Amino acid sequence: MINVKGGNKMSGKQTEVGLVSIVDSYLYQRLHGFRGKWVVINTTKNPLQGLLHSVSPDHVVIEVSDTPFYVRIQEIVWITEA
């Protein structure tokens, strides 16, 4: 969790904002196995086919026709080798 504290100049009170991100460790590890391979990623909007460049806890980078696409892991429905 990341907390950001800031003051309210008018009231003198501090506001606390929290960010909670859930990481699916199983999917994250499985995605690492696809790095450097041609894959098809089906998202909640549309499928993407290309080279999986990198995997982060919250997103992946897939190159489609020399253009990088950043896909949030929460948007991935399924992934397979192309």
Can you tell me the mean pLDDT for 50-71?
97
Can you tell me the mean pLDDT for 33-62?
97
Cβ proximity of 56 and 47 under 8 Å = no
Main-chain dihedrals φ then ψ at residue 44, nearest 5 degrees: -65, -15
Contacts of 62 (CB under 8 A, 6+ apart): 39, 41, 48, 50, 51, 52, 53, 68, 69, 71
Residue 29's pLDDT band (boundaries 50, 70, 90)? very high
- Percentage of the chain modeled with pLDDT above 70: 83
Contacts of 46 (CB under 8 A, 6+ apart): none
CATH for 24-81 is 2.30.30.100
Assigned token pair, 82: 């192309």
